[in-house]
Amino acid sequence: MSPSLTVRRIVADQGAVLRELRTASLRDAPYAFGDSLEDALSADAAVFDAAAARHADSHTATSFILYTEGHPAGLIGANFESAPARRAFVFALWVAPAVRHLRGGELLVNAAIDWLASEGAQQIYAWVTDSNTTAMRFYERLGFVATGDHARSTQTPEQWETLLMRELAGAAPLASAQ
Ligand SMILES: CC(C)(COP(=O)(O)OP(=O)(O)OC[C@H]1O[C@@H](n2cnc3c(N)ncnc32)[C@H](O)[C@@H]1OP(=O)(O)O)[C@@H](O)C(=O)NCCC(=O)NCCS
């Protein structure tokens, strides 16, 4: 029988859970993220405590956690950039290998999109490493398309990343925006 999967927004006292999921994701899939495992491991626990507390009630940045039978098993971040365009991003998406292909990733992305939309987003952006074909296919299946923006990874400059975007239903098409 498939395990049941649920997603909930992070709460203020989940700094240790955030740290555990973030280090697990960097250990499992270092090719997928801009941060390094070493930085995450050497960061003070207080950094994760502060992030969890901020993400629990911020209107500009948050995290959602995937649970399987009550145990944390995945993570996604969502935020609005501070630049004037205030584009909405999902990032740091990770699902534990034991529960992949069960729509946990889709649940996380949908929760993040719903939150970003409730805060006013009309388009959702995600940077994906070009060599990460699984993530590329995953996002495309969820309606994301390439924007044409392409950049070197800050952490691994020999790798390139593609910016994907999904237009939310009901949002005005870009071409007709004033
Ligand atoms: C990308 C990632 C988050 C997807 O997580 P997931 O929980 O497996 O995602 P989903 O189950 O929603 O969908 C993933 C795939 O499983 C397939 N799938 C879903 N249910 C399935 C099932 N019952 N049986 C077989 N395949 C299934 C989907 O069709 C999809 O395949 P496709 O992309 O070829 O169309 C996960 O692979 C991961 O954490 N990768 C490492 C980190 C990473 O790359 N993060 C992204 C950074 S940009």
pLDDT (tens digit per residue) in 41-67? 989 999 999 999 999 999 999 999 999
| Contact indicator for 131, 153 with CB cutoff of 8 Å | no
pLDDT score at 175: 47
pLDDT of residue 178: 35
CATH code reported for the domain at 5-172:
3.40.630.30
Query: pLDDT by residue (tens digit) across 105-164?
Result: 999 999 999 999 999 999 999 999 999 999 999 999 999 999 999 999 887 888 899 999
**Residue whose CA is at the smallest distance from ligand 1 atom 27:** 101
* Per-residue pLDDT at 174 exceeds 80: no
79 lines ligand 1 (CB under 6 A): no
Backbone torsions φ then ψ of 46, nearest 5 degrees: -60, -30
Residue type, 26: L
For tokens 């999921």, name the residue.
21
How many A from CA of 161 to the centre of ligand 1?
19
The Cα 95–Cα 142 span in angstroms is: 16
Q: Over 90: is that where the pLDDT of 15 sits?
A: yes
Distance 104 CA to ligand 1 centre (A): 8
Q: Does residue 77 register a pLDDT over 70?
A: yes
Amino acid 156: pLDDT: 81
CA 128–ligand 1 middle distance (angstroms): 14
Q: Is the CB of 103 under 6 A from ligand 1?
A: yes
35 or 78, higher pLDDT? 78
Report CA(154)–ligand 1 centroid distance (Å). Answer: 25
Domain residue ranges in the chain: 5-172
| pLDDT of residue 177 exceeding 50 | no
